[in-house]
Structure 1
Amino acid sequence: MTTIDPHRLTGAYALHALSDEENAAFERHLPGCEACAQEAAELSATAARLALAVTTTPAPELRERVLRRITTVRQDTPGRTSVRALPARARLRARTRSRWALAVCLAAATALGGTALWQHQEADNARAQARSSRQTTDGIAAVLAAPDARTRAAALAGGATGTVVVSRERDRAVFVVSGMARPPGGKVYQLWFDDAGTMRSAGLMDPGRADQAVLLRGAVDGASGMGVTVEPDGGSTEPTSAPVALLSFPALD
């Protein structure tokens, strides 16, 4: 710690990549540095939420591999003159891209670790699962890291929270939910795009997970918002129940 600028350790701290000694020293630094405290908290929350997109268990050797790679990634110090010289909006986007990128690295590392488990399954199924997981993770990462990404959060029923992230450039959207109650037996949560009052299916949520990130299926294509309904297992061609959540898409600046 004596040779490393503590302002550069927020990412490693959020990813639990510091040694016990470094971790203790950094936590002593936090109370006196508001910038580091805020950035570490935001990175920890984002990394934890994105990691929910993948459920496979990483291989034991993955941690050492990730730690070696982290040492080669340079992190900007909060409040550097070069960042302050940017306009306010550019500073915000620069910080946002940096935080999403670190969280995406965590989610991607978890996905890569899962491939070791698939080697014990039938080869064709393993390749299909790996390809699907990788495409989903890449799709989520692309939306979250997009320069034009905009977010809107809302409180949902039962104390759950939901956030929709939209990139008009990529024409895709991601729904991140925390604390979602399990649907009734034989039911599933289905996502919908709101096309001027007409609901277009955007895929299904995992009924067994209270916290997850879902890449909405299909293009945003001018939709004004999204909704969530409870549907029979397998989904429906159109909503059959009142929405349990409705979120309008954030407007472009």
Structure 2
Amino acid sequence: MTAVDLHRMTGAYALHALSEEENAAFERHLPGCEPCAQETAELRATAARLGLAATTAPPVDLRAQVLRRITTVRQVPPGPPAEALSVRAGRRTRALSRWALAACLAAATALGGTTVWQYQRAEDARDRAGQAVRTADEIAAVLSAPDARTRAAELADGGTGTVVVSRGLDRAVFAVSGMARPPGGKVYQLWFDEDGTMRSAGLMDPGRSDQTVLMRGVVDGASGMGITVEPVGGSEHPTSAPVALMGFPG
């Protein structure tokens, strides 16, 4: 099984569609691959949201159709064919002069000084990947909770926001689509609204107009939520008028 195969397994893994062997291999790969962890988190959240929607029974022969069509579709890895890569690599190797080789040897002496730095970066990437997976699991738990309640509203900038609350888990998730990006140097901050008193519930990603966010902290006595525009890093208390206010579903 190649690394390319593993990168393509995020969707199947999120939907529990891998074999035991594939699942084990992907889980060994996941902590060290931040892009796969991020994509898996988003796919899990999306799958959980879809689970809240009304469903229809699939045709009885759907599985047979899918399996039959799979055999007619060939997946080709991205990039040039392996033969072309081999030819190019050979040409590059022959083109190296003794001066280039000397430079490579000189550069190799610096590896000792960079090994610790690379290790720390790898550890940081694994930590971020692990956190992304844990957050995805928490989001999925809220969205699929038996007592999950949903409320959607149009935002002032034309986007659509949906809040999902599970009183049993005491957690809330906010999903938004089509939200305008904040001004430079600013970020959207979420707040729990407790009878007019705002309690920080975390920051949104300023670079994304569509996202699903696990609100930080417990719902507790909050009856709704708000969104304000704050300096990067967030604020202890709102410093601007809310761009959105939403009551929690009963």
Report TM bin, short chain: 0.5 to 0.7
1:174-209 deviations in Å (ceiling 9; x for gaps): 000000101011100000000111000000000000
Distance verdict in 2 for CA 1:129–1:154, change over 3 Å: same
Aligned to 1:123: 122
**Match for residue 196 of structure 1?**
195
- 1:121-160 matches, cutoff 5 A: 122-160=121-159
Distance 1:234 1:206 in 2: 11
Correspondence for 1:249: 248
Output one character per residue of 1:210-231: Cα deviation in whole Å (capped at 9) or x when no partner. 0000000000001000000000
Distance 2:212 2:12 in 1: 25
Quick one: which amino acid aligns to residue 99 of structure 1?
Answer: G
Query: What is aligned with 1:185?
Result: 184
CA distance 1:191–1:65, shift in 2 (3 Å): closer
Contact 2:181 2:206 in 1 (8 A): yes
Alpha-carbon distance in 2 for matches of 1:97, 1:182: 23
Number of matched pairs = 155
1:70-219 map, 5 Å: 70=17, 99-100=51-52, 122-219=121-218
Alignment deviations for residues 38-64 of structure 1 (CA, whole Å, 9 cap, x no partner): xxxxxxxxxxxxxxxxxxx99444169
**1: CA distance between counterparts of 2:145 and 2:138?**
11
**Secondary structure of the residue that 1:70 maps to in structure 2?**
coil
Supply the distance in 2 between the matched residues of 1:160 and 1:97 (Cα, whole angstroms): 18
Amino acid at match of 2:179: M
Check 1:130–1:100 CA distance in 2 against 1; reply closer, same or farther (3 A cut).
farther
Instruction: Give the letter aligned to residue 62 of structure 1.
Output: M
Give the TM-score normalised by structure 2: 0.56
Q: State the 1:99 CA deviation.
A: 1.8
- CA deviation after TM superposition for structure 1 residue 157, in Å: 1.4
SS of the aligned residue for 2:230 comes to strand
Q: Deviations over 1:57-105 (max 9, x none)?
A: 9944416965995388xxxxxxxxxxxxxxxxxxxxxxx998259xxxx
Q: CA deviation at 1:159?
A: 1.1
The TM-score with structure 1 as length reference comes to 0.55
2: distance between equivalents of 1:61 and 1:177? 26
Question: What are the superposed Cα offsets for residues 96-152 of structure 1, whole Å, 9 maximum, x if unpaired?
Answer: 998259xxxxxxxxxxxxxxxxx9983321221122101110110010010000000
Change (3 A) 1:58 1:216: farther
In structure 2, what is the Cα distance between the partners aligned to 1:183 and 1:133? 23
Over 3 Å counting, the alpha-carbon distance change for 1:58 and 1:243 in structure 2 is farther
Of all paired residues, the percent bearing the same amino acid is 66
Greater gyration radius: 2
Q: 1:132 to 1:58 in 2, by over 3 A?
A: farther
Q: Which amino acid aligns with 1:242?
A: A
**Match of 1:158, SS?**
coil
